[in-house]
Structure 1
Amino acid sequence: MLVDSHCHLDRLDLGAHDGSLDKALDAARARGVGHFLCIGVSADNAAAVKHLAERYADVDCSIGVHPLDLEPGAEPALDWLLRELNHPRVVAIGETGLDYHYEPEAAERQQQSFRLHLEAAKVTGKPVIVHTREARADTLALLREAALPQAGVLHCFTEDWEMARAALDIGFYISLSGIVTFRNAEALRDVARKVPADRLLVETDSPYLAPVPHRGKPNLPQYVREVAEFMAELRGVSFEEFAVQTTANFRRLFPLAHLTE
C-alpha cells in the first residue's frame, strides 16, 4: 500500500475523471494508494478538508494556514486553530511555514503565524507539516526554538542536503513530490538518495507539480505511484519495499491517521 501524504483533494482538477472526486480516488486506489492526507491551507478551506475526511474512510486531513494564504490583519489565532484541530479526522497541523520566494516582504507576518502553529503543535501533540522555500535559516531557527517533543515533516522538499540533514537532526521527516522526477532536479535526487529509509515520505501535492511523464498536466493522487516507483529505483530498492517502508513511516509520523492496513 502507498500513502499520498500530502494532497489537496478540495482543489483537484477532476476533468480526467468526469468531474468526480470518487472516480479520482478510485483511480488512485486501483494503483495501490490506500490512504490520503488532505491538507488545510486557510481558514476558508478548513471545513472543506474536514468534510472530505468525514466522507471517506481512507482520507484524513490537517488544518492550518499556508504562509502565502495569510491575510494582513487577519492572521490565525491560537484559539481558532486549537478548536479546528479538536476533531478526530484532523491528524496534523499545517501546512504552515515560511515562503520568502513569493512574499519576502511578509517575512515577519509569516514567522508569527509559523510560531503560532508550532505552539499549537506543542499543545496538541499533533505533528506539523512545514512548507519552506528560500527561508532555510529562519525555518530551521524557528523549529529549533520550538523544540517540539514530536516529529514533523518538511513537505515537498526542494532544498539541499545540508538543510535536509539539519531537519533530520532535529527529528523531522522529509517528503518528496514529483519534482524529484524533473530533468533539472539532480540536486534533489541526491537528497532523495541520502535520506534514511525510516524518515522518508512520498506525496503528490496534487493538483500541483505532476511528475514525469505527466508534467504540465493537473496532478492527481494516482500519480504518487510514479513518484514512488521513481524513488524506489533511485534508491536501489523494489517498489514493494519502498511502499511498505514509506507507509510505515507515515503511520509512525501520523499516529492518529486511520490507516486500515
Structure 2
Amino acid sequence: MLVDSHAHLDSSKYDDDREAMLARAFHAGVRTILSIGIGDGPETMQQASELALAYRGRTDVPVIYASAGIHPHEAQLADDAAFAKLDTLLQQPEVIACGEIGLDYYYDHSPREQQQSVFRTQMEIAAARKKPIIIHCRPSDRSTNAWDETLALIEEEWKPKGLGGILHCFTGEWEHARRALDCGFLISFAGNMTYPKAQPIRDVAAMAPLDGVLVETDAPFLAPTPNRGQRNEPAWVSLTAAKLGEVKNISPEEAALRTTQNFHRFFGIAVPAGE
C-alpha cells in the first residue's frame, strides 16, 4: 500500500476526470493522499480541504487529507485576510499541515524579503495551531541560496516548536537533508528522482534513514520515468517508491510499506483498513 504525500488534487488539470483519476490511484494501491491546499493563491487555498470533505467516507478512493498555505510565488498576495483564512483552515480536522510554504528564488514571482516575511508569519500561525509545515524550496540556478536560507529559518524559527514537517520534492544537498532531519522533518522524494540526471537526489536518498523519508507525486507535475512529460497523477507514486527501493536496496513493496508507516506515524493518524 502507498501514500502520496503531496499532490495538487484541486488542479484544473483534473477537472474532466478527477473521479477516475482517484479510482486509478486506489486501484494502484494508493490508500492515502495529502492534497496540498495552495490553490491558485490565497483566495482558493480552501479547495483542497473541500475535496477532502467531498470524498470523506468513500471506500473506493484513497483517504484524502489536506493542507493549507500560501506558496512563496503568491507571497505578495498575503494580507491580513489571507493569514486569517489560513488560521481558520488550520483549525479544520481534515487539514493536517500548513503548506506548501517556503522560498522560491528560481522564479522570484514575489520579492525575496517578502517571501521570507510571509514564511515567518505562516510558521507563527502553524505553531499556534500545532500543525507541522510542508516546505517548498527552489534555489536560483547553480546555487543553494534558497536551501541555505530555508534551513536557517527553520532552525531559528521552527525547530524550537518541536512540530517538524516535510521537505517536499527534495532537491538539496545531503547537508540540507541532515539539518532538516535534525529538526524533526521527513524528506519527501518526487518523480524527478527517477530522471537520468537526478543522481544527486538519489545520492541523498541513499544516505537518508529509511524511517525519515516519504514519496510523493507533486501531481500534476513531475511525472516519473517512463511517464515524464505527461500529466502526473497519484497512481504513479508507485514508480517513485520503486526507485527509492532500488536506491535503498530494498523491494518496491518494502519501500511502499516503510514510507506509508512514516507518513501515518508522523501525522499520528490511523492507517486505513487494508494497509
TM-score (structure 2 length as normaliser): 0.88
Matched-pair contact (CA < 8 Å) for 1:61–1:91: yes
CA distance in 1 between partners of 2:202 and 2:84 (Å)? 40
Partner of 2:37: 40
CA distance in 2 between partners of 1:258 and 1:94 (Å)? 22
Partner of 1:108: 113
Question: Judging changes above 3 Å, is the alpha-carbon distance between structure 1 residues 81 and 110 closer, same or farther for their aligned structure 2 residues?
Answer: same
Q: Deviations over 1:144-177 (max 9, x none)?
A: 1122211101000011111111111221110000
CA distance in 2 between partners of 1:172 and 1:240 (Å)? 23
Partner of 2:148: 137
Aligned pairs (5 A) from 1:67-82: 67-72=72-77, 74=79, 77-82=82-87
CA distance in 1 between partners of 2:133 and 2:90 (Å)? 12
Matched-pair contact (CA < 8 Å) for 1:65–1:76: no
Question: Judging changes above 3 Å, is the alpha-carbon distance between structure 1 residues 253 and 111 closer, same or farther for their aligned structure 2 residues?
Answer: same
Deviates more, 1:84-93 or 1:5-14: 5-14
SS at match of 1:44: helix
Match of 1:23 among 11, 15, 20: 20
Question: Judging changes above 3 Å, is the alpha-carbon distance between structure 1 residues 212 and 223 closer, same or farther for their aligned structure 2 residues?
Answer: same
Shift of 1:179: 0.6
Shift of 1:70: 2.3
| Residue 170 of structure 1 pairs with residue 175 of structure 2 | no
Partner of 2:60: none
CA distance in 1 between partners of 2:80 and 2:151 (Å)? 22
Could you tell me which runs of 5 or more consecutive residues in structure 1 were left unpaired when the two chains were aligned: none
Partner of 2:7: 7
CA RMSD between the two structures: 1.8
Partner of 1:184: 197
TM-score (structure 1 length as normaliser): 0.93
Matched-pair contact (CA < 8 Å) for 1:8–1:39: yes
Shift of 1:55: 1.4
Matched-pair contact (CA < 8 Å) for 1:63–1:90: yes
Partner of 1:126: 131
CA distance in 2 between partners of 1:73 and 1:59 (Å)? 26
Which residue identity is paired with 2:9? L
Shift of 1:184: 0.5
Match of 1:204 among 194, 212, 217: 217
Partner of 2:93: 88
Which residue identity is paired with 1:160? E
Matched-pair contact (CA < 8 Å) for 2:73–2:109: no
Which residue identity is paired with 2:156? E
CA distance in 2 between partners of 1:101 and 1:211 (Å)? 22
- Identical amino acids, percent of aligned pairs: 42
Deviates more, 1:206-215 or 1:97-106: 97-106
CA distance in 1 between partners of 2:31 and 2:258 (Å)? 14
Shift of 1:8: 0.2
Shift of 1:85: 1.0
Partner of 1:252: 265
| Residue 222 of structure 1 pairs with residue 235 of structure 2 | yes
SS at match of 1:137: helix
Shift of 1:201: 0.4
Shift of 1:46: 2.3
Partner of 1:66: 71
Which residue identity is paired with 1:35? T
CA distance in 2 between partners of 1:211 and 1:51 (Å)? 28
Which residue identity is paired with 1:69? E
Shift of 1:191: 0.5
Shift of 1:75: 6.7
SS at match of 1:210: coil
Which residue identity is paired with 1:79? A
Matched-pair contact (CA < 8 Å) for 2:170–2:187: yes
Matched-pair contact (CA < 8 Å) for 2:35–2:48: yes
